[in-house]
Structure 1
């Protein structure tokens, strides 16, 4: 899979939103993590879902305005967080696949996006569970 192939399969990642360089970066990483011999005919689907998952996390991290560089935004779902300063209290609830009760067992960080969950289901099908971190 190349950048054009990824964009054809995942048109929501438009160039104005995600530069080609970020897609290329994750395609290279996916090429190292997903052995073609193991993935066979599902390789392109696995690579596409892996890249979409990583890009979604990056896009969420970009939304952060709290000075953390996106660490909280990309950390996954939070059921509730409250901060109090003096008499002012601020509550945050973040949704996501896990918070909505759709977490997949042992999927870890892949539960943070719908693409990650779909990727994890393919991982289970191809039997690459121990080879993908």
Structure 2
């Protein structure tokens, strides 16, 4: 911990994420007050934002664990109007094999996929959900 019980950056980040989850879910005093004063639309948007963050963290953990990715082609995209740390949340329509699939993903503002580009997706071993894993390597 260190002198004066200082927390590491990771511990502070985890604590802040837990607080955001609690507020978005309406738990605790701050959650109830936020929902009362800001309204349910705001808390629903906050829940979507925290869900996107958790999904991005989950994909990173799956990739680190060696879950294989597969290529997909972007055939359509739509902005959700939501950003997290200036990174947009978008709905991607992807051609995966012979199937067209729409998924919502938080993408880097530096690597926003475009229609016609190749991206990487992976299948969550627990839920079977298809998850965005980033742009495919360019030749």
Normalising by the smaller structure, the TM-score range is 0.3 to 0.5
Higher normalized contact order (CA 8 Å, seq sep 6+, divided by chain length): 1
What's the TM-score once normalised by structure 1's chain length?
A: 0.32
What's the TM-score once normalised by structure 2's chain length?
A: 0.31
| Larger Rg computed on CA atoms | 2
Q: Which has the higher strand share?
A: 2
Q: Which has the higher helix share?
A: 1
